[in-house]
Amino acid sequence: MTKTLAPVKPVAVAGYLIAAAVVACAVNIGIAALAHAAGASEDFGPLTIGAYVPYTLYGIAAGAIGWAVIRWKASDPQKVLRWLVPTVVVLSYIPDLAMFFSDFEPNANAVGIIALILMHTVVAVSAVAALYQALPVTSRA
């Protein structure tokens, strides 16, 4: 038995993605403010609004593209996304964690680095919540 994909409503998809972007940006602004209040340097580049807001939007867009491709191509998109999403999120932590062991990013400290890791998680959770509604996946086995 083959299951078919639910029809895509482009306006609904756009609405969910815009909502995810607004929520993720708002939460990330809050994380940055708390991190700065807790001791992250104002000069820590990745924790400036001009850096993290575009990356928040890129992350949601990349997630949406990946989700759509997997939904379209995978024989069992639920199964693929169940392992791929956490894997990609954990891999996204690697550059942040590397800052603990190098000085390639000036003004980095533990508070700022942990804030970035939290921001990656916020982007993933926001995107998955939106995409789960906008582009539902099922097993087609």
- Segment 11-49, tens digit of pLDDT: 999 999 999 999 999 999 999 999 999 999 999 999 999
Mean pLDDT score of the chain, rounded to an integer? 94
Yes or no: say if 108 and 44 are a contact pair by the CB < 8 Å rule: yes
In this predicted structure, the answer to whether residue 139 has a pLDDT above a threshold of 80 is: no
In whole angstroms, give the CA distance from residue 113 to residue 89: 15
Q: In the numeric block, which tokens belong to residue 23?
A: 């929520």
| Per-residue confidence (pLDDT) for residue 1, from 0 to 100 | 45
For 78-87, write each residue's pLDDT tens digit.
Answer: 999 999 999 9
Q: Is 20 helix (H, G, I), strand (E, B) or coil?
A: helix
**Residues 6 or more apart from 125 whose CB is under 8 A from it?**
none
Q: Are 77 and 140 in contact (CB under 8 A)?
A: yes
Residue type, 2: T
- Residue ranges per domain, the chain? 10-134
pLDDT at 138: 79
**Amino acid letter, 105:** E
